[in-house]
Copies of this chain bind each other. A is one copy, B any other.
Amino acid sequence: MRFLILGNEKKLQVREQAELLAREIPAAGGQVVLIDLNSESNLEHVEADVALVLGGDGAILRASRQMNTHQIPVLGINYGRLGFLADLSTDEVLPQLKSVVEGRFRLCKHLMFECEIEGNGKFHKYLGLNEVVIRSSPPFHMVDLSLSIDGEEVSRFLGDGIIVSTPIGSTAYSLAAGGPILSQELPVFVITQMCGHTLTYRPLVDSAQKTYSIRLEATDGACVVIDGQELIELASLQTVTVRKSAVEFQTIKVGSKTYYRTLRDKLNWGTTPNYRGNKLS
């Protein structure tokens, strides 16, 4: 079993943890192919079986985009906030290392998107895992957006912007904007409005087989943000197109924790207000 070790060395303990793993993996019978704690390597030609990512969901999102069209299964080790993607905490990783080296884990595949931005003769393409946000930027006037699905113009938005999210992304920004939780394996996107003046709008859950185009009709300042990490300025009449990517993000699950359990642990999803002395809690 060949391992990549990725992460952000600026975060506390990441360098130290990487070195510890680099010693322990061979001892457990595995092989460390590459350590990159600065997101600087081109991973498209690196052959490995597992990418150990140190540092929470943000680090995993970054690793996923770094691997680009050559996705290696990710085992995330959580240092950060809200670990929906990171399966293990730092103290769980060593006890589980043997299992991973011996291939005793489940592999889950997840929808990724590609996002094209066209306009002014330019054309850019991005890959992502969580969401595409088209939003107002300073001076923060309303953006006016039109949404087309498979070529049909379906809706108009006035407000802070809209989010096209995958199921993985549905518990991140889209949730904060009022979107539903999507079970992680569904082949769907959700389109959620941010602070919209369109009072009749409700989030739309629609097929990942369709193509979603958002045109910026007019603006005093707008941008696209991908996975909360890449920011691209957007001008009037530019169009952002989102569709399912051909590649899939892959996660390694070693524990028995289910998605619903994670929802309860991380979001307090569906837990009841505080009671004194009641039988429910």
Residues of chain A whose beta carbon lies under 8 Å from any beta carbon of chain B: 78-83, 89, 133, 135, 137-141, 144, 147, 149, 152, 154-160, 173, 175-183, 185-186, 188, 190, 194-207, 217, 223, 225, 228, 231, 258, 260, 263-278, 280
Contacts and interface: CB of A to CB of B under 8 A. Distances in A.
A156 B195 contact: no
A205 to B, nearest CB: 5
B194 A206 contact: no
Contact of A205 (B188, B199, B200, B270): B188
Nearest to A192: B180
A268 to B, nearest CB: 4
Nearest to A223: B138
Nearest to A196: B176
Contacts of A173: 195
A271 B201 CA distance: 7
B276 A81 contact: yes
Contact of A200 (B89, B177, B267, B278): B267
Nearest to A174: B195
Given A78-B276, A196-B176, A202 B269 contact: yes
A170 to B, nearest CB: 8
A179 B195 CA distance: 10
